[in-house]
Structures are given as structure tokens and as C-alpha cells.
A and B are shown apart, each in its own frame.
Chain A
Amino acid sequence: MSMNTQGRPTSAGDTGESFRPKTFTGNRALDMEEPLIFEFGRLDNMGVDLDEPDTFESELGGHERTAEIGLPGLAEPEAMRHFVRLSRNNYAIDSGLYPLGSCTMKHNPRLNEKMARLPGFGDIHPLQPVSTVPGALELIDELAHWLMVTTGTSAVAMSPKAGAHGELCGMMAIKAAHTAAGRSPEIVLVPESAHGTNPATAALLGYKVVAIDAKDDGTVDLAALTATIAQHEGNIAGIMLTNPNTCGLFERDIMEIADLIHAAGGFFYCDGANFNAIVGKARPGDLGVDAMHINLHKTFSTPHGGGGPGSGPVVLSDRLAPFAPLPFIRKTEDGLELVETDAATKDGEQPFGRMTAFHGQMGMYVRALAYMQSHGSDGLRQASEDAVLNANYVRVGLQDLMTLPFGENPCMHEVLFDDSFLKDTGVTTLDFAKAMIDEGYHPMTMYFPLVVHGAMLIEPTESESRASLDLFIATMRDLVMSATRGETQRFSGAPYLAPRRRLDETTAARKPVLKWSEPEPAEVTPQVAAE
């Protein structure tokens, strides 16, 4: 028996398939326009119930605020709806493949979130008595152990708050080691393919950055490196090298590079952004690395959170270990000791200073350790293997149509294409990427590394199933063929179907509007057009 007793039509009906109504609200069904809180919130509204204090006598000593701040408030349902609507305008790894090379957008297990929110981790103060937080020291020490075993090193500076902060920490340790040895070399070698943070970090510490050349296969040119080192003999502080490098390739000569740098009196800083490719397969310590930051938010899957918070512990070789910054945990026969000040250091401990207040990103440590324990030694290796397998599967699925700058060789966890396959199509790397958005994909990393023209760096990660990769490959092939056929419209105006079309970044930078202001009252006199 049909439940539809009131004559409600149940077929889709003929609705005129090409008609798109211009709606009154500007909304498109589930795709909602949402104003800023400043445009609809009110200064006397609030979504928190707070009682007036029973008595209030000011001891502010004349420092009272007199002017209004201008902060609108929202009742709880208004706030909920506002932010939920905003969230729906975001692409996320939970909703689709996010192949941003070098950024490692892998699955973020919710167990990790749950563990970080245990009151024993989430609700403890960095300066409450150490005797009341033994489990916190234990957690940090345990994560440090996993990081040291994984990297084959014997020390780790835990406190840096992000990858670039870790780089700064590692390079500061290197500078401190040189100073302690009575040396003051001035040059840091950085390949052109490096992340921008590498030269920026070296420059911040007053180092002169000298570029080193790559070979045609995308890896460091050993002969050129030897020559550069000879040219600056006695003045080399170190090298900053990403391995696997930003072209998705393992630096085959890495041990020779380490030997050359060490022989020149320098240290080897490894940018660990791509460590996720080799966990369980090789240990940076065995490769001659002196310092390497680990992006816990990449390799060990703490959530990227729309751009942070990250966490960038730095593993250190024996030679750099004494210079690790405050605070650190010392293991003694009686247990774990927290060393927070120079006064508490012992012989052989020469911390170069402090990177941040307190103890670093505890919330991220908990998540990373939960991730590592879940995988275990076998799962961590498997994850790296799957990440590399997935990248190569994408490579072979696309290499006949897209162009590989360094030939059809295996890659590590990410595959780098250049834009030669788009030559004469009128479609740019940017256009191509924007067309991926209409297909429901987040674009890959574009125009990086700088050493390749129109670079497209694809990192699928181990979190993708084979079916997901097959659909991605098929989509990419369709886009390439479409571009080749001259269907430029699909690309030049893309995205067509996202919450926004392409945004005018030039005007945004030329006349920056960085906060909301009350709209100007309407002009009374007619304005003459500026152009």
C-alpha cells in the first residue's frame, strides 16, 4: 500500500534541466551565503550565561577601559549555525582526496583527538608543580623515544611549535655548536628546490645562503657541491637539504653529501618534511644527518586544522645533542626530571636558549604518539610503503599523458609533473588546478618546487584506496585530454561550481582590507567613475 495518499508527486518530473534560478537569498540550496559576525551580531547579545559578580570593587587602579570594544555577540544557536555554514565552504581530507605535495594530507584518526582531550593531558597547566604531572613527562619522553628510534638518533628537542620553528631550532643548535668550538662560519648551502623556509631560516640567523645546483635527474650535483664547498673552504656552517627532496626523489648520494659537509667542518640539517616516505625503511641518523625536524602534522598525522597548530620536534646527532634548547627531560635512575632553566643544567648540557614559553605542543604530542602506537613498527613501515606505492601508481597512471621532468623513474611518496604537456593548449598549471576543483578534488601543490616549470606535485598519501586513486587518475586523464582537445573554457574560468569563482588576489594585495569596518554612509553627491 502506498503511503502517499495525498497525491504528492513522487517522480522527479520535468523541471527544465538547464534552468538555474537566481535566488532571492543568493543561496543555492545547501550552498549558503553567510555574513560576517559583525554584520548580524549585536553588542548586547551573548551565547554564554554569566552571572554578575555579587560584589564588585575595582582594584584596577585607574586602568579601566572607557571606550566600547565593538565585539558583537551571538546566542548559541546563532553561533552554531554561523560556523557550521562556514565549515561547509571548506574542502577537507575527510571529504575528499587532498593531493597537496609536500603537505601530506593523510587521514586524521579521531582516537587521537579523544586522547588529547583526556583531562590528564588537556587540562593540565604548564607551570603546575612537576610532582602533579608525572604522566605528562612520561608521555613526552615516550614520544621522544619513538622519534629517536624511528630516526636513529640519540636526542630530540621537543619544543618547536611547527616545522619552520624546528628548522630555526636545528640551525640555532648548529650555530651554538660552531660558537662553542670557537668557529664562526658564515655560509649555509641550500639547493634551489628547497622549501622557502630553509633560506628564510638561515637568513634569520645571519647566515649567507649559497645555492647548490641540481643534476638533470633532480638530485644534488655532487661535483658542483664539491666545487662550491672548496670555493668557500673553512666558511661552511652547514647544508640544509630535504630528503626525500621536493621533487619526490630520494637523494641517492646523501651519505657522500653528509661526508663532504662534515669534512668541511659543517653540519647536515635535513628538512624532514618528507620523512613520511621512509619511516621504517631508513633512518636519517644512519644517513649522516645532524639535525632534522619532524612535522608531527605531516608524518604523524596531527590534524592540519586549516593551517596549524603544527609541531616540529628536532632530532639531533650526538654532536648537537648538548646544545638542545630548554626545556628538556633528563632521565635519571630516580625517574624523569624536567630541566627548565640554565641553573638546573649539568655538565655537558649547554642549551642554546629557549624556543618558546613552556614545553611545546603537548596536545600534538599526544596525538602523534597515539598515531605511532596505533601503527607500531609494522604499521609505520607499511604506511610509508603504501604512500610510496600510491604515488607510483598515480605516476604510471598519468605518465603517458602528463610530463615527468626527470624521466619515467620511480618516485617516493609524491610525484612531480611539469607543464610541458600543456604546451600550446592555452591552459596553464593554475587553470588546470582550478578545473580539478570542479571535479571535486583539491588541487595538487602548484609552482613548487621552483626548479621545474609549472610544477604539479601530487602526494596521494597512504590513506587513499585503490578505487579512489583509479577515479582520480581517470579524472586527471579526462582533464588532460580535454585540454589537449582545446576545450579551454573548462579551464580558463574554473572553478565554476565551487562556493566562489576565482578570487581577485591582485586587488586584495594592492589595497589590503584586513578587517571589517562599518560601511561608509552612502555618498550624497554623485561620484565620477575613476576609470
Chain B
Amino acid sequence: MRYLPLNDTDRQDMLARVGVDHIDDLFADIPEKARLKDLLDLPRRASEMQVERQLSAMAAKNTPAGSVPFFVGAGAYKHHVPATVDHLIQRSEFLTSYTPYQPEITQGTLQYLFEFQTQVARLTAMDVANASMYDGSTGTGEAVLMAHRITKRNKAVLSGGLHPQYREVVEGLSAMAGDKVVSLPADPSGTEDILSQIDDETSCVVVQCPSFYGQLIDLKPIAEKAHQHKALLIAVFTEVVSLGLIEPPGTQGADIVVGEGQSIGNGLNFGGPYVGLFATRQKYVRQMPGRLCGETVDAEGKRGFVLTLSTREQHIRRDKATSNICTNSGLCCLAFTVHMSLLGEKGLTKLARINHGNAVKLKRALAGVPGVEVLNTAYFNEFTVKLPKPAAAVVEALAAQNILAGVPVSRLEPGKPELKNLLVVASTEVNTDEDRAALADGLKAVLT
């Protein structure tokens, strides 16, 4: 087997050295009746070429985003990732290293985590960011638990503009932990009255901007009302590129900011691995979940970095930990940091302008299709349209013509007649004028 350096001679010699006759003597503690006598009922070993053949055949059955006019967003976005990013994250020293528990020989990982934390804190305009969460949705769940620890209350109010699957993650976790959740009805155009839901029992309000439906939301009045009741505002975003153009949640009064960072540096990957961004105020840092990297000096006074504040974490605190999380999304952070370093302030701003510009063009193209109504007044690179027919069928019809039109809301929110005709469409820098024309024409054809 090509991955195993021992050969049979080695094995015989080593067994003799260990003092047993047969390898099974080393497995003698396994109860006799549970010991496998035969090989597992699976195929035998396969060469590199065979595996490549088998998996390529599966991959070939899928339609890659890059091969068609592509407008699917709703929490994950198709962006162009520079070739440098993928090269760097495949460096052996990054790819095959472990959690930097031995800082003297993992300064590479630690320094990029420190750079990542600084980038995220600046993007969100918050005091501190951690070294990432699994993704935006699990980060949102953790943010709600954190708010409960800080406020010593247990009721979360979720905006109807929150990604439905993020909402389900929070609801599931809360139900299991015995906490309360008030989820507002779907809010495609950003007109819900969330302020009246905030009271003295509220621990936190969770608001997504741009919302799941693409609407930009003014967070300031929500933060103000929350703070009047000593509750926290958790601001969520799924499209980090938006922060290149819109006011960051930190300056609008958010107490915890959670976002999905996939758009920068990371591919679509059918939903994972992604990278959750998580930032908060300095005063709450010791209630934060996840890993933190901090600056220090070594015995010779040279600057270095270490994992820090680990007394919050499970390996020290066990059942008193702030979270059960034991890992972050290291390599995805690296991809984020490399891509963000290549963009810088100027590049991110430009990228955001291109995205918004493309969305504006798409909106105009779609608004020209008879029967199509755009529901959003202010948006970044994504918005929701109301079709004269159920959106799911329209999306299927367009997919048959190799146009991937967007996400029918009914896929995530089934059984709600008022949402049945809604379609969430996104346009990033990858879309061309031809792509937009193909979608508008296709839509016209399907709707008439």
C-alpha cells in the first residue's frame, strides 16, 4: 500500500522486538466475539489512477458554477479566487501542521491567525475577533450562547431576515439547551417591526445585514433599543464582500458580529469547509468562544504569538468552558488572509463596487421581465424577486437550459404560500453582461 512505509520484513522484525508472535496479539484486549475475522465488506485497495477515475466520474455528474451563467447566493457566493491563494494554502508547512500548541515551531500559523484577527476586527469595526469558527451558521449559534452568558438571560429574538438555516441552527441548539427563541416571520423587504419584540427579558437580537433576502438594514435603532433593555445586538452577515462598501456593524452599535467568510479566499465546496468570522467588544472577550491568538515575547525578547486566554476553553475548563469547540477553521482563515492581503483596502472596495454594480445591472435586466417584481429597495450584490409562478419550478426549468438562476425561498421555507414565488438572486464579479442577458431572456421565456 503506497502510503505505508513498513514492509513485511519490517513487520516481522518489529513484532519480534515487541515480543509477540502475531499482530493480533496486540489486539487481544478486543473482546473475542467482536474481533473481525474477515476483511470489511468493502473493495480492496485502489491505485491512484483508479481512485482518480472513480471520483472524477462522480464529479463529472455535477454542474460547476464556473461552467454556466450563475446567480446562486443565499449564504455562499461564487467569487474569483486568485491562484496565489490556493498555492499558498497547499504549502506543506501550512497544510500538514496541527493546532499551534507548540508556539516555538508554529509561528507561521500563529502569525497569520493574528493577521486574520486584525483584518476581521477592522472589517467589522469591532475591538477583537477570534481565530474563526466552523462557519457563519454555527458561529451564530455560539454568539447567542455567548449573549446568554453575558446578560444572564436566555431569550433570543431572531429577525425574519436571518438565513433560515442559521435560524434553524439557533433554534435547535436553544431547544436542546432549554433557552427561548422568538423567530419573526420571513421579512423579504426589511420592513418588520423588531423593536417591539425587545424587552427586559431579551438577551439578544439577531439581525442579518445584508439580510437573507438581500435587503440592507439600519442596525442603529435596533442597537439603541436593545441597549435600552440591556440586551445585546448580534449582527450577522453572509457576504463579507459587502463590508467593502457598506457601513460596518461595529459603528452601528453591534455587540457581537458573526459572519461567513467564504467569499474571500474560499471556494463553494458544496457548503463546506467555510470560515466563520466572529468579533466582539473588548469587555466581552473572556466570554468569547473559540481560539484566540495573542502577541507576546520569547525568552530573548523577540516578538512572537501564542494561543491565549485558553482558560475559557474546554481542554482546561471542561464542563465549565465557554464552548465545546476545540478547533477553528485554520486553513480557511489562511485562504481568507492571503486573499484579503492581495485585495487590501483598495481592492476590497473595488471588488465590492463591481459586485454592487453587477447587481444593479441584474436588477434592471430582471425588472424589465414582465411579471417580475424586485422586493428590495437597498441591497448589495443580492436581492429577491417575486415571480408570477412558483420559483422552484422556474429555477428547474432554467437549470434545464444550463442557467443557474438563484435560490427559490421555498427550498428553505417550504409550506409558506407567501414565499412560494420568491427567488433570491446574486450577482458577483464573475457574471458578465452575457450571463445577465441569458438569465433575463431565459426568465422571460419560462414565464410566458
Closest to A219 in B: B29
Contact with A along B346-367 (1 / 0, CB 8 A): 1110110110111110010000
Known contacts A94-B92, A278-B30; decide if A354 and B75 are in contact (CB<8 Å): no
- Whether the pair A135, B60 counts as a contact (CB closer than 8 A) is yes
Complex CA–CA separation, A309 to B95 (angstroms): 10
7 smallest A-B Cβ distances: which pairs?
Answer: A73-B344, A61-B378, A353-B172, A120-B59, A358-B271, A305-B331, A126-B271
- Whether the pair B1, A383 counts as a contact (CB closer than 8 A) is yes
Report, as a range, how many residues of chain B touch the other chain: 35 or more
12 more A-B residue pairs beyond the given contacts A109-B3, A309-B274, A370-B51, with a C-beta to C-beta distance below 8 A: A44-B346, A125-B70, A161-B134, A196-B314, A196-B315, A255-B31, A309-B275, A356-B137, A364-B273, A499-B105, A500-B104, A512-B294
How many A-B residue pairs have C-beta atoms within 8 angstroms? Tell me.
723
- Whether the pair B121, A123 counts as a contact (CB closer than 8 A) is no
- Whether the pair B357, A132 counts as a contact (CB closer than 8 A) is no
Question: Is B388 engaged at the interface, CB distance under 8 Å to the other chain?
Answer: no
Residues of chain A in range 365-385 having any CB-CB distance to chain B below 8 Å: 366, 369-370, 372-383, 385
- Whether the pair A307, B100 counts as a contact (CB closer than 8 A) is yes
Question: Is A490 engaged at the interface, CB distance under 8 Å to the other chain?
Answer: no
Residue of B86, B302, B305, B325 with most chain A CB atoms under a 10 A cut-off = B325
From A92, A164, A372, contact of B327 by CB (8 A) = A164
- Whether the pair B34, A286 counts as a contact (CB closer than 8 A) is yes
Contacts of A41 in B (CB 8 A): 341, 344
Contacts of A523 in B (CB 8 A): none
Closest to A514 in B: B128
From A131, A286, A389, contact of B399 by CB (8 A) = A131
Residue of B123, B285, B324, B350 with most chain A CB atoms under a 10 A cut-off = B324
From A88, A117, A255, A509, contact of B108 by CB (8 A) = A88
Question: Is B184 engaged at the interface, CB distance under 8 Å to the other chain?
Answer: no
Closest to A495 in B: B104
Question: Is A421 engaged at the interface, CB distance under 8 Å to the other chain?
Answer: no
Question: Is A226 engaged at the interface, CB distance under 8 Å to the other chain?
Answer: no
In the complex, how many angstroms separate the beta carbon of A178 from the nearest chain B beta carbon? Answer: 11
Complex CA–CA separation, A200 to B320 (angstroms): 7
Q: List 22 A-B contacts (CB under 8 A).
A: A36-B114, A50-B347, A71-B123, A76-B342, A84-B91, A87-B93, A91-B93, A92-B93, A131-B396, A150-B40, A161-B272, A255-B31, A305-B95, A306-B330, A309-B331, A355-B169, A377-B39, A448-B315, A463-B3, A466-B14, A508-B295, A515-B114
Closest to B116 in A: A515
- Whether the pair B4, A382 counts as a contact (CB closer than 8 A) is yes
From B70, B82, B310, contact of A48 by CB (8 A) = B82
In the complex, how many angstroms separate the beta carbon of B241 from the nearest chain A beta carbon? Answer: 12
Contact stretch, chosen from A2-10, A165-173, A478-486: A165-173
Known contacts A129-B404, A131-B396, A503-B296; decide if A124 and B268 are in contact (CB<8 Å): yes
Contacts of B136 in A (CB 8 A): 357
Question: Is B448 engaged at the interface, CB distance under 8 Å to the other chain?
Answer: no
Contact stretch, chosen from A13-21, A203-211, A227-235, A261-269: A203-211
Known contacts A65-B245, A84-B91; decide if A119 and B114 are in contact (CB<8 Å): no
Residues of chain A in range 52-75 having any CB-CB distance to chain B below 8 Å: 52-74
In the complex, how many angstroms separate the beta carbon of A5 from the nearest chain B beta carbon? Answer: 40
- Whether the pair A500, B107 counts as a contact (CB closer than 8 A) is yes
Contacts of A388 in B (CB 8 A): 23, 26-27
Question: Is A291 engaged at the interface, CB distance under 8 Å to the other chain?
Answer: no
In the complex, how many angstroms separate the beta carbon of A204 from the nearest chain B beta carbon? Answer: 5
Closest to A70 in B: B122
- Whether the pair B314, A309 counts as a contact (CB closer than 8 A) is no
From B3, B4, B271, contact of A362 by CB (8 A) = B271
- Whether the pair B327, A71 counts as a contact (CB closer than 8 A) is no
From A71, A129, A251, A493, contact of B343 by CB (8 A) = A71
Contacts of B310 in A (CB 8 A): 509
Residue of A53, A90, A126, A390 with most chain B CB atoms under a 10 A cut-off = A90
In the complex, how many angstroms separate the beta carbon of B36 from the nearest chain A beta carbon? Answer: 6
Question: Is A197 engaged at the interface, CB distance under 8 Å to the other chain?
Answer: yes
Question: Is A505 engaged at the interface, CB distance under 8 Å to the other chain?
Answer: yes
From A105, A124, A309, contact of B62 by CB (8 A) = A124
Known contacts A132-B62, A133-B270; decide if A355 and B138 are in contact (CB<8 Å): yes
From B70, B246, B344, contact of A42 by CB (8 A) = B344
From B14, B30, B46, B414, contact of A344 by CB (8 A) = B414
- Whether the pair B172, A325 counts as a contact (CB closer than 8 A) is yes
From A358, A383, A512, contact of B308 by CB (8 A) = A512
Known contacts A134-B62, A172-B172, A287-B31; decide if A86 and B343 are in contact (CB<8 Å): no
- Whether the pair A304, B99 counts as a contact (CB closer than 8 A) is yes
From A50, A163, A167, A389, contact of B18 by CB (8 A) = A389
Complex CA–CA separation, A514 to B306 (angstroms): 10
- Whether the pair B65, A125 counts as a contact (CB closer than 8 A) is yes
From B15, B59, B243, contact of A119 by CB (8 A) = B59
- Whether the pair B270, A124 counts as a contact (CB closer than 8 A) is yes
Question: Is B115 engaged at the interface, CB distance under 8 Å to the other chain?
Answer: yes
Contact with B along A243-264 (1 / 0, CB 8 A): 0000001111011000000000
- Whether the pair B88, A120 counts as a contact (CB closer than 8 A) is no
Complex CA–CA separation, A325 to B20 (angstroms): 45
Residues of chain B in range 152-200 having any CB-CB distance to chain A below 8 Å: 163, 165-166, 168-169, 171-173, 175-178
